[in-house]
Amino acid sequence: MTLDINSRDRNQERPMPVPGTYEVDPTRSYLGFSVRNHLVSRIRGQFRSFRGTLTVADDPAASSLVLEVDTASIDTGDARRDERLRSSDYLDVDHYPTMPYRSRRVWPVVAWAPDGHDRWHVEGEFVRRGVIRPVEFEVRFEGGLIDPNGTTRLGFTARAELSRDDSEFSWKQALDIEETALNRNAIFELEVEAVRRS
């Protein structure tokens, strides 16, 4: 059934998830990326194994998200390409088996976009190959419910756009396509269903 205990900021009219600590359900969540090729299609990939904890605070600005991504789980649909991405030239999964992410700041998009009542801007950092990379996600709260077992679940989606100049390795070599055919930005997308634990 639909969760009817979602709180709402009456001043800003922002839909809010129920405060608590939530565990990411990896079987119902997705972390992917894409790079536009020839301006008509996208080369897509995903990390099939990751885990995380979402803390929803009474004060939304105090909320946080922590993720840990298993780098060897990268999957672009091309086995040869995936092995190259796992190698020491790129993700170097033998030395860096995980890629952690931690949010640092959260605030509502409605602060500058009147239609952004269900969206939040989240600043954070990925650590890839030991190098800290700032990442800014726009997060949309998709709603919550209580499942038949009485467990509170919530969903959200997130999107970040990263310049390829921010990467320490060459996307054109990793994806095996010509530089002139490749867009300057990569898109990271996160779809999460999380289960309340406390």
pLDDT attached to residue 116: 53
- Which domains does the chain show, CATH number per domain? 8-196 (2.40.128.110)
Tell me the per-residue pLDDT of 25-47, one tens digit each, with 9 for 90 and over: 999 999 999 887 666 677 899 99
CB 135 within 8 A of CB 162: yes
For the chain, give the number of residues. 198
CB distance 16 to 5 below 8 Å: no
C-alpha–C-alpha distance, residues 67 and 107, integer Å? 19
Judge whether 7 and 59 are in contact, CB under 8 Å: no
Across the range 99-124, mean pLDDT stands at 80
Whether residue 143 contacts residue 64, with contact meaning beta carbons closer than 8 Å, is answered with no
Give yes or no for residue 83 having a pLDDT over 50: yes
8-12, 19-23, 124-128, 151-155: lowest mean pLDDT where? 8-12
Give the pLDDT of residue 60: 81
pLDDT class of 180 with cuts at 50, 70, 90: very low
Q: For residue 42, what pLDDT is reported?
A: 78
* 94 exposure class (CB count in 10 Å sphere: 0-12, 13-18, 19+): exposed
CA 140-191-34 angle, 5° bins: 105
Task: Enumerate residues 6+ apart whose C-beta is below 8 A from 102.
Answer: 64, 65, 66, 67, 124, 125
